[in-house]
Amino acid sequence: MNRLVSLIIPCYNEEESLDYLYAALAEVSAGLPQYRFEFLFVNDGSRDGTLDKLKALAQADPRVVYYSFSRNFGKEAAMYAGFCNAAGDYIAVMDADLQDPPSLLPQMLADLESGDYDSVATRRVSRAGEPPVRSFFARMFYRLIHRISDADMMDGARDFRLMRREMVDAILAMGEYNRFSKGIFGWVGFRTKWLPYENVERVAGTTKWSFWKLVKYSIDGIINFSQVPLSLAAWGGVGLTLVSFLMILLVIVRKLLFGDPVDGWASLVCIITFIGGVQLFCMGIMGQYLAKTYLEVKGRPHFIVSQTNAPNPTRIR
Ligand code: UDP
Ligand code: MG
């Protein structure tokens, strides 16, 4: 029996890209007759004609399976839904906008077949066509996370990767609510080959990521995969306490030597606002972790599928 390859494609308002993507997938799969394919499209609560497009594609090609969410749950939830429902021996995640070139698939499959790797991941070696500010902050993020987290994340890493079943099972075992895939992929380990390629601009439509959404996403990544900010808060507290002991000594000595003149109002105000700021900042850090914990503890489902053409779907998980 030929091996089954599952391609998971999260789609949010992608009606303009889907035809190009499907054409590319049809071409690549035709060139790989030794494999069977299933195309798992996850419609992440799109507001445009994405779902109708998917239904039409599914009518025409039985390999097309769609899962349509009851609202927008985010790309992470869409990928998770894909993993939950993928039956393949090899499983890949791929963007709908052709920024993850399907033409890399034959090479990726060959690398897995060689038996030396469990996963082939892609990373962009250029960020052409991206605003420079965005590239700069992206680079800063990877440098920071590399220092403060065990989950190794590669600069320029895409979510586009092909994995063996074993690795996907490990990813499914990580049922956390706050999902940060780049961290999850790194955390589970396995032998990964990195495939560099030049950045491709999206074929149609517009990016779903604003600058602030990316900033929030990177903060999520740090909080989800590192405890260092918490220790920073603790060490900052220890440092400030030591400083305050020195100040107390200084004040006592000054009182003994020079009496007790009433001045220093300005410095007092500075100290109070500074300490107040540091305290609020540290409480904010704790609050971030607490908020994550709160969401985890509630154990709400990651996604809700309201429409699908799959025979036995995982609808809610
Ligand atoms: N996406 C999604 N849900 C969202 C946002 C994005 O499923 O809430 C999908 C989107 O349809 C695309 C992929 O995630 O297939 C990557 O999004 P995009 O191309 O906008 O991001 P970029 O490539 O600019 O980082
Ligand atoms: Mg894109």
Residues of the chain scoring pLDDT < 50: none
- Residue 273 has a pLDDT of 87
Ligand showing the shortest atom-to-Cα distance for residue 303: 1
- Residue 127 has a pLDDT of 75
Instruction: Please state, as a whole number, how many other Cβ atoms lie within 10 Å of the Cβ of residue 36.
Output: 16
Long-range contacts from 176-179, C-beta under 8 angstroms, 24+ separation: 176/224, 176/296, 177/295, 177/296, 177/298, 177/299, 177/300, 177/302, 178/220, 178/223, 178/224, 178/292, 178/295, 178/296, 179/76, 179/77, 179/79, 179/80, 179/224, 179/302
* Residue 12 exposed, middle or buried by CB count within 10 Å (0-12, 13-18, 19+): buried
Contact 98, 19 (CB under 8 A): no
Classify the C-alpha dihedral 7-187-202-206 as positive or negative: positive
- Residue 220 has a pLDDT of 87
Half-sphere exposure of 209 (CA within 13 A, CB side): 11
Which two structure tokens, joined as six digits, stand for 172?
A: 């499914």
Classify the C-alpha dihedral 97-221-194-165 as positive or negative: negative
DSSP E strand stretches across the chain: 3-11, 35-43, 64-69, 90-93, 119-124, 157-164, 192-197, 305-308
What residue owns the CA closest to ligand 1's atom 8?
A: 74
Contact 123, 154 (CB under 8 A): yes
**Pocket, ligand 1, Cβ cutoff 6 A:** 10-12, 14, 44, 72, 74-75, 78, 95-97, 99, 202, 207-209
Strand ordering across the sheet containing 35-43 = 192-197, 119-124, 157-164, 90-93, 3-11, 35-43, 64-69, 305-308
User: What is the 207 CA–ligand 1 centroid distance (Å)?
Assistant: 7
Q: What is the Cα 155 distance to its own chain's centre? A: 13
Mutate which of 97, 211, 216 for ligand 1? The one with the most ligand atoms within 8 Å of its CB, which is 97
Contact 225, 151 (CB under 8 A): yes
Q: Alpha-carbon distance 293 to 177, whole Å?
A: 9
- Residue 206 has a pLDDT of 81
Contact 176, 296 (CB under 8 A): yes
Q: Alpha-carbon distance 301 to 295, whole Å?
A: 11
Q: Atom of ligand 1 at shortest distance to CA of 9? A: 15
